[in-house]
Structures are given as structure tokens and as C-alpha cells.
Amino acid sequence: MSMDRDMSQALLEQVNQALQQNTPLRIQGGNSKALLGGPVAGELLDTRSHRGILSYDPTELVLTARAGTPLQDIEAALHEAGQMLPCEPPHLGSAATVGGMVAAGLSGPRRPWAGSVRDYVLGTRVITGHGKLLRFGGEVMKNVAGYDLSRLMAGSFGCLGLLTEVSLKVLPRPRQCLSLCLPMARHQALQALTDWGQQPLPISAACHDGEALYLRLEGGEGSVQSARQRLGGEVLDNRFWSDLREQRLPFFSGPAALWRLSVPSASGELDLPGQQWVDWGGAQRWLKSDAPAQAIHALAASVGGHASGYGAGAEGSAPLPATLLRYHRALKQQLDPQGVFNPGRLYPQL
């Protein structure tokens, strides 16, 4: 823990200098999500020196840490107390930080059953584009007054301000965890998941690789065992889910561009141009494809979803509808009037 230090004053000075000189800043933690979003031309602002767990009370289920704290340190502290971050955020690299986790807003396999990163952010401290260090939200769930700026930081890719501190709600780890593999076709799997969604089964992850349905059951011993007897299939190593979350499975390698499609969970079978992997019980589809970006964005939009690219060949996000862009711009104008924070990372127009 000797690495822990408060560098908020130094970060504040760097932001104020950027504001005076009108220089854009490229905010970066472990840079593990470098493949996401557009390129940012700006002076590097590295958050990693500003780190440390400030408070963690397992009985209160709340942890507060500085933005540059490695995500693995946070998960290790939680693990020791028998707790977890329920949204299973992907690290995508060993240097991932908690600030980057919130800024990227990515969730793992448990997302449809447990909620997103945004759902677990209780409060933040943020350096705004007015050169001030402000506290938003609190460390309790009862924070309902006014607009919740803390949750707005989730998935904002640093374009609204510089996160310096974050308070997160955490939960106990399930008593039992069991993973199953059931060979079946994709359309059968999607139908089965729709049916099971109406029943009290302790499912906490579900994906399909084209050949088989993979399920994770979590909860008390009784409910997990009875679900296993009912569902059948063969038992799978639980590490499968972290390999999926961290994109270490063979599907994610290879030359074709990787796309993530977020679609309504009841979209059923989608005819996508390339290799696909169904995740989140149908709400997230991974696609390896050489099809043009425009075609993939159009396909996702046709079922009421959207696509985003992961890395080379898969260009960022689809253009925002005019109304939405207006809101984004107004918000950016409020929080970062000079446009110094990560310009172009989230959308080219911001």
C-alpha cells in the first residue's frame, strides 16, 4: 500500500494550466481500453500516480478509491472480504484502473442480471472544465436530490471531466457458482433463454458460441443444484467467464475486425455478416467481420440496437441522432466549456 498517494492538487494544476493555455488533455489510466473510441490529440494526463483505497467497509457494502487505483487491487480487497463488483468489469489489460473502469462503463457477463457499472456508482469527485474539484453524489444509495452527475461519468470516456475519486456499491459473492455447457443450436438457445427468463432459475451468465449454450448458475446451494438437475448439460470450469470477459477466447483473435452489438434481448437470431458470439442472454452480440462499418451500424439500428467497434478496422460508434447530439453538446458545454477533456474520444463532434 506504499504506492498510495493523493495527487489531486497536481492534477488540478495540470487541468488549470491546460485551461489557461487552451491545450486539450488526453486523460489516461492504464490505457487498457485504448482500442475504444476515437483518437485524442492532446497533452497526456496520467491518473495512475493518484491511487489508493480510501475507505472500505464490508458491512456497509461501499468502497471508495482514487481513480488511478489498479482495478486488480480493488478486486483483491473485495475478494478477501467475500465480496465483488457485481457488474464484472472487463480489465482488457493488467494495468486497468478504477477510473478507467467507470469512464469506459463496460460490464461483464453478469450485466443483464446484476446491472451495469453505472448502477453501482454512488459518488465521485471530479475536476471540471471550470478548473474546480467538485464532489458529486455520496456514499449511500439514498442520494436522490437533483441530477445524478456521478452516474453520468460512467461511459463518458473522460469527455465531461477528470474523475479523481469514486465510491462504489459492492455485493457479497454468491455462495455457490456452477457453469454448464449444453449443446444446442443458436435459435433454440435464444428461445430457451426467453422461456427461462420467466422462471426463478439462478442464471447469472448466458452465452452461445454457435455450437452450444453456456450458462452460469449462482446462488444458494439448493437452488443451484436443483437448477443443474433440471437443465442437464456438462459441468464447465468457471474460469470460462473471465476468459470471455477479458476476450481471451479463440473467437476474439484473428484478423477480422471485432464489433460489439448491443441489441434488445428478445431480438432472436440475427443474420450477421461474419462470425458471431451471443452474450448477455442475447442482448450483446460479438461479431468478427470484414463487412463495411456502415453496413454493421445499419444492421444494428434495424433491430433497435447499436454497434461499436473494438480496435482496428471497426470504426467507433454510429453517428448520433440530431436530438441526442444536441443534449451531448449542451452537457459538454456545461461541464467542459473549453473542450479540453478528451476531445473526439466519445464522438468526433464532442
Asked whether the predicted pLDDT for residue 143 surpasses 50, the reply is no
What pTM was estimated for this model as a whole? 0.94
> What is the reported pLDDT for 202?
97
Where are the domains positioned within the chain? 8-172+329-335, 176-310
CA gap 339, 319 in Å, rounded: 19
Asked whether the predicted pLDDT for residue 1 surpasses 80, the reply is no
Asked whether the predicted pLDDT for residue 311 surpasses 90, the reply is no
173: which 3 cell numbers?
A: 459473492
Q: How confident is the model at residue 350 (pLDDT cuts 50, 70, 90)?
A: confident
Give the chain's mean pLDDT.
93
> What is the reported pLDDT for 140?
55
Q: Which residues contact 315 (CB under 8 A, 6 or more apart)?
A: 293, 309
CA gap 171, 163 in Å, rounded: 23
Among 51, 270, 25, which Cα is nearest to 157's? 25
CA gap 298, 303 in Å, rounded: 9
Least confident of 133-142, 247-256, 333-342: 133-142
> How many of the other CB atoms lie within 10 Å of CB of 85?
23
As a whole number, mean pLDDT of residues 197-206 equals 94
Asked whether the predicted pLDDT for residue 145 surpasses 50, the reply is no
Q: How does pLDDT run across 320-332, given as a tens digit for each residue? A: 889 999 999 999 9
Q: How does pLDDT run across 40-97, given as a tens digit for each residue? A: 999 999 999 999 999 999 999 999 999 999 999 999 999 999 999 999 999 999 999 9
As a whole number, mean pLDDT of residues 216-244 equals 97
> What is the reported pLDDT for 137?
81
> What is the reported pLDDT for 147?
55
205: which 3 cell numbers?
A: 451468465
As a whole number, mean pLDDT of residues 235-245 equals 97
CA gap 259, 183 in Å, rounded: 25
Asked whether the predicted pLDDT for residue 238 surpasses 80, the reply is yes
- What is the SS3 assignment for the chain? CCCCECCHHHHHHHHHHHHHHCCCEEEECCCCCCCCCCCCCCEEEECCCCECEEEEECCCCEEEEECCCEHHHHHHHHHHCCEECCCCCCCCCCCCEHHHHHHHCCCCCCHHHHCCHHHHEEEEEEECCCCCEEEEECCCCCCCCCCCHHHHHCCCCCCCCEEEEEEEECEECCCEEEEEEEECCHHHHHHHHHHHCCCCCCEEEEEECCCEEEEEEEECHHHHHHHHHHHCCEEECCHHHHHHHCCCCHHHCCCCEEEEEECCHHHCCCCCCCEEEEEHHHCEEEEEECCCHHHHHHHHHHCCCEEEEECCCCCCECCCCHHHHHHHHHHHHHHCCCCCECCCCCCCCC
Measure the CA angle with vertex 250, ends 249 and 255; round to 5°: 125
Asked whether the predicted pLDDT for residue 142 surpasses 50, the reply is no
Least confident of 130-144, 150-164, 272-286: 130-144
CA gap 90, 211 in Å, rounded: 24
CATH architecture of 8-172+329-335: 2-Layer Sandwich (3.30)
Backbone angles phi, psi at 103, to 5 degrees: -60, -40
CA gap 269, 307 in Å, rounded: 16
Q: How confident is the model at residue 139 (pLDDT cuts 50, 70, 90)?
A: low
User: In this structure, are residues 158 and 103 in contact, taking their beta carbons and an 8 Å threshold?
Assistant: yes
> What is the reported pLDDT for 144?
46
Backbone angles phi, psi at 210, to 5 degrees: 110, -25
- Alpha-carbon dihedral of residues 329, 33, 94, 179, nearest 10 degrees? 100
> What is the reported pLDDT for 12?
98
User: In this structure, are residues 46 and 131 in contact, taking their beta carbons and an 8 Å threshold?
Assistant: no
